[in-house]
Amino acid sequence: MAEDNKARKLVANNKKAYHDYFIEEKYEAGIELFGTEVKSIRQGKCSIKEAWISIDKGEAFIMGMNISPYEKGNIFNKDPLRVKRLLLHKAEIRKLDQQKMVQGYTLVPLEVYFKNGRVKVEVGLAKGKKLYDKRADMAKKDQQREAEKEFKVKFK
C-alpha cells in the first residue's frame, strides 16, 4: 500500500463533498482526456468543486469538471467544461446506477490525481446531509480543535 501512495500525486480534491454528503463507498475511475487537457492537469489547473457524475446508457460521465485550457496549446485545446467519459467496468457502472436509484443517493467526484502517470478520479457514492447533520459535524470539529489547543497549551 505504501508503494501506491508514492505513485499517487493529488491534483484536486473536493472538500465541499465531505461537508455536504455522507460518503458511503469510493471507486477509482480513469478519465477519457485529450493531450492538452492532461498537460493542463499536470500544471494543477483542474477544479471539481461544482462537478457531478451522471450515468447514461451504460456509460458514466463527469459533468461540470473544469480543466483550464493549456496556454501553449492552440487549436487542440478543448472546451474547459466539456463532458468527459469515466472509464469504469460495466459491472461497476451497473452497480452504481442501481445504488443511485435509491432516493437520496448521488455520485460525486472526490479527488483527481495521477497514479502511475494516468489521471484518475475517486468517485464517491454519497447521501445528502441535512442541515442539522452539518451543524453537528461543525460542532464536533470545533470541540476537537479546542481540545487540541488545550493540549498544546498544557505541554508547552
Residues 123-143: tens digit of each pLDDT: 999 888 877 777 888 888 888
Is 97 domain-assigned?
Answer: yes
Helix locations, the chain, DSSP H? 2-6, 15-20, 35-42, 90-101, 131-154
For residue 99, what pLDDT band results from cuts at 50, 70 and 90? confident
For residue 4, what pLDDT band results from cuts at 50, 70 and 90? low
Is the separation of the CB atoms in 41 and 74 below 8 Å?
Answer: no
Is 51 domain-assigned?
Answer: yes
Domain of 76 in residue numbering reads as 8-129
d(CA 101, CA 129): 17
Longest Cα–Cα distance of the chain, Å, equals 61
Is 22 domain-assigned?
Answer: yes
d(CA 19, CA 13): 13
pLDDT reading at 5 higher than 70: no
How many whole angstroms from its chain centre is CA 147? 30
Is 2 domain-assigned?
Answer: no
pLDDT in tens, 83-95: 889 999 999 999 9
State the total domains in the chain: 1
Phi, psi of 78 (to 5 degrees): -105, 170
Task: Please give the grid coordinates belonging to residue 99.
Answer: 445504488
Is 139 domain-assigned?
Answer: no
Is the separation of the CB atoms in 122 and 69 below 8 Å?
Answer: no
Is 54 domain-assigned?
Answer: yes
Q: What is the rounded radius of gyration, in angstroms, for the C-alpha atoms of the chain?
A: 18
Is 81 domain-assigned?
Answer: yes
The reported pTM is 0.75
Is 100 domain-assigned?
Answer: yes
pLDDT in tens, 40-57: 888 888 889 888 899 998
pLDDT at 141: 83
CATH assignment at residue 124: 2.40.280.10
For residue 150, what pLDDT band results from cuts at 50, 70 and 90? confident
